[in-house]
Structure 1
Amino acid sequence: MSIEQTKVSIVIPVYRAENTLERCLASVFAQTHSNLEVILIDDGSPDRSPEICDSYAQKDERIRVIHQSNTGVGAARNAGMSVMSGAYLFFLDADDYIVPETITVLVNRAEKTGADITIGNLRESGGRGLVRESPPYSRESILSEQQAIAQVRYELFYNPGYGVTAWNKLYRAGFLEEHGIAFENRRLLCEDRVFNTRCFIHRPRIELVNRYTYVYCIDASTITRSKIDNPVEKSLSAVEAMKDALDANQSADENEDLFTWFVFGQINQCARNFAIHSERPFKDIKAFLQQYRENDLVRRCLEEIGSGKHMEGISRTSWKRYARGLSRLLSRGAYTKASMILWLRFKVIEHR
């Protein structure tokens, strides 16, 4: 089979996307790679999104629409994965769009190298027309033997465009099938990182392509910019899901660093959300920290970072100081100081 004949399934969860969905779909139909299966999952959207999905399905036989009650993005992606028939899988959010060569570029690299996951580079487009590009990758491949290197592991999961998100990646369907990899059906924070960890523990061959293949659009209506409901519950559910993923593969010890930084990352995720959405961000951040730290796993991870453990893969001295200092404050229950640091940090970031 030629590369042009290789079938790619594009899974797009749709919820409250009536203002962006047509732009997203236009970018899909502009692809230079034509053998596509487009699966739209209407996740109980209350706006015009379901009608838009059905309208496009009538125009193009490559489109399949699934209508379901609102269950969250992870369950919606699972629904798409359960019916896909492509050799490769690509996730696209309905808020975003891809450039015309995206699928061609990623499939070409995957087919030439036998990659399990192929990752392009990323552009961020802001509501005021601002565009930010993620830095070029410093390597072309991440082989299985390199994945034990601390710096590679940290880059893979905490640098933009790598393992943080499920979108902007071409997954080999056979790899996901072989290892039974799927999303959590329950709602939790950082579900993409949990999914990618489930991939990572099976040591996939990863290819990195220094071409901008995905445009991530940031505006007030996007999922990532919406207020997080029940942040403590969702954060602890994510911690539990990550631990279960590592335990199931008997790899908790060798991936202790990834788990620890994942736990710490939930703090930054929620603090940033409060800084954007809350009417009383300082108080909400403090309340979250107090409840989150009550968990034994969280407490242990904070103590490890505070003591300087798991720092080998981090090159930025400023980040090491920040993470270690914040963890020390939380370990001794200094919630007021920790909350002030987080509030000021994300207040500055949001006003850049």
Structure 2
Amino acid sequence: MHSEISVIVPVYNVEHYLQRCINSIIQQSYTHLEIILVDDGSTDFSGRICDLYKKRDKRIKVIHQPNSGLSEARNTGIHAATGEYIGFVDSDDFIHPDMYLSLYQMMEENNSDVAEAGFEKVYGNAPVLREAGGGNVTVYSGHQAAVSGIVNLRCTTYSWNKLYKRQLWDQITFPKGKIFEDEFTTYKVFHACNRVAVTDQKLYYYVQRKSSIAHSQFSLKMLDHCEALDEMIRFIEKNNPEALPIVSIKYMFSNIWHLHSLMVHRKNIPDAMMVINRRVREILSCSKYLGRKRNLSEATKRILGDHYSSLYDQRRKIIILLFLLRRSLYFFFITLSCRDFAKRHLTLQRGKLST
């Protein structure tokens, strides 16, 4: 007898995409599904579409809740799920007809706690290759998968292209009110696994929308990613310190990019200098984990087995960026100090003239 899979779909104002998403789930070749549609306070017709599908397919459950964000919608779905396995699909995306059958078989054949598929980016109404074909399957330990996902080598931190054993989510939740929610959670789920099976078959279709969070312009919510990075490095320090020469590469690259954005948009950021100073301190503090080239080589061989050359190239770029960062920050703060001094001097002179 096949085990039931609970598929959780957070829904918010996606009336133009939702039917394609739901159809791709109900048409799965693996039919033992519990489909949980969590309407997160939609103001368009998305909620009604959910209710119509519920009447058509007895496997569908619909939950309507006040708008609380993607993380809380997923958490609501996890709490309501009764299946032995859990999967997530974002409501503007869709999936290959054999995705859950393939992932379930991978888990059974490899005795894994998580199975992960590849994904295809879809732009607009561009046609999608529907034949997934045979894929190569690689099995990692949980610790290997966590590190591989963090640095985006074979495993990924996306939550939606995977199938999980239900109990993995008993102690892990998505962070309320945060964007980049996957960056807070997926590596922790991997870390809790014994085995993770990964295929390069592209079974998930990731729709690219200009209005989505991932394509939004800079806002203070982007600092959630900085928080996720800080939490990640502390988790690795505590639970898998030998991986620090590897994961510090992701940490440094992402933080330097965020620091650049903060400096460019500092006029729109309250207490900008305090935020920038903190990022600088975090970056320079973490630079100690880059260590020697030999440290990276040994850690990569022990944990990932290969990928050393690509990681070494990234490490070399970071060292160059750190050198340039130190120089640019020096001139940046000197310029700000001179400007502030000039402002204070001019204000003082005006005060004297007015008296």
TM-score band w.r.t. shorter chain: 0.7 to 0.9
Q: 1:245-264, CA deviations, whole angstroms, 9 ceiling, x for partnerless residues?
A: 557xx416345346534533
Work out whether 1:330 is the aligned partner of 2:325: yes
Q: State the match for 2:155 in structure 1.
A: 162
Q: What one-letter code is carried by the residue in structure 1 that aligns with 2:51? A: D
Shift, 1:320, TM fit: 3.0
Q: Does structure 2 retain, via aligned residues, the 8 Å contact 1:293–1:299?
A: no
Cα distance in 1 for residues equivalent to 2:66 and 2:98: 34
Q: Does structure 2 retain, via aligned residues, the 8 Å contact 1:142–1:206?
A: yes
Q: State the match for 2:227 in structure 1.
A: 237
Work out whether 1:18 is the aligned partner of 2:18: no
Q: 1:17-48, CA deviations, whole angstroms, 9 ceiling, x for partnerless residues?
A: 11111110110111011111111112222222
Cα distance in 1 for residues equivalent to 2:315 and 2:230: 25
Report the number of matched residues.
Answer: 316
TM-score normalised to the size of structure 1?
0.76
Q: What one-letter code is carried by the residue in structure 2 that aligns with 1:140? A: T
Q: 1:179-203, CA deviations, whole angstroms, 9 ceiling, x for partnerless residues?
A: x1222123143x2132112123334
Shift, 1:66, TM fit: 1.8
Cα distance in 2 for residues equivalent to 1:307 and 1:251: 22
Q: What one-letter code is carried by the residue in structure 2 that aligns with 1:57? A: K
Shift, 1:138, TM fit: 6.8
- Structure 1 gaps of 5+ residues are 275-280, 338-352
Q: What one-letter code is carried by the residue in structure 2 that aligns with 1:206? A: V
Work out whether 1:283 is the aligned partner of 2:264: yes
Q: Does structure 1 retain, via aligned residues, the 8 Å contact 2:6–2:86?
A: yes
Cα distance in 2 for residues equivalent to 1:323 and 1:104: 41
Q: State the match for 2:191 in structure 1.
A: 201
The alpha-carbon distance between structure 1 residues 237 and 292, as it changes in their structure 2 partners (threshold 3 A), is same
The alpha-carbon distance between structure 1 residues 307 and 76, as it changes in their structure 2 partners (threshold 3 A), is farther
Instruction: Show the 5 A alignment for 1:238-277.
Output: 238-242=228-232, 245=235, 250-251=238-239, 253-257=241-245, 260-267=248-255, 270=258
Q: What one-letter code is carried by the residue in structure 2 that aligns with 1:334? A: L
The alpha-carbon distance between structure 1 residues 285 and 32, as it changes in their structure 2 partners (threshold 3 A), is farther
Cα distance in 1 for residues equivalent to 2:323 and 2:210: 34
Q: What one-letter code is carried by the residue in structure 2 that aligns with 1:321? A: R
Matched position secondary structure for 1:39: strand
Matched position secondary structure for 1:211: strand
Q: State the match for 2:303 in structure 1.
A: none
Work out whether 1:95 is the aligned partner of 2:92: yes
Cα RMSD over matched residues?
Answer: 3.6
Matched position secondary structure for 2:174: coil
Q: State the match for 1:278 in structure 2.
A: none
Q: 1:316-336, CA deviations, whole angstroms, 9 ceiling, x for partnerless residues?
A: 254333322223333455388
Cα distance in 1 for residues equivalent to 2:330 and 2:19: 45
Q: 1:166-225, CA deviations, whole angstroms, 9 ceiling, x for partnerless residues?
A: 110001113333xx1222123143x21321121233343010123221011112133322
Matched position secondary structure for 1:142: strand
Cα distance in 2 for residues equivalent to 1:307 and 1:231: 35
Q: What one-letter code is carried by the residue in structure 1 that aligns with 2:315? A: K
Cα distance in 2 for residues equivalent to 1:69 and 1:214: 28
Bigger share in helix:
2
Work out whether 1:219 is the aligned partner of 2:219: no
Q: Which moved more, 1:252-261 or 1:93-102?
A: 252-261
Work out whether 1:294 is the aligned partner of 2:278: yes
The alpha-carbon distance between structure 1 residues 332 and 208, as it changes in their structure 2 partners (threshold 3 A), is same
Percent identical across equivalent pairs?
25
The alpha-carbon distance between structure 1 residues 269 and 183, as it changes in their structure 2 partners (threshold 3 A), is farther
Q: Does structure 2 retain, via aligned residues, the 8 Å contact 1:110–1:117?
A: yes
Instruction: Show the 5 A alignment for 1:176-195.
Output: 176-177=169-170, 180-189=171-180, 191-195=181-185
Shift, 1:244, TM fit: 6.2
Higher radius of gyration, 1 or 2: 2
Cα distance in 2 for residues equivalent to 1:28 and 1:336: 55
Cα distance in 1 for residues equivalent to 2:92 and 2:174: 20
Work out whether 1:66 is the aligned partner of 2:63: yes
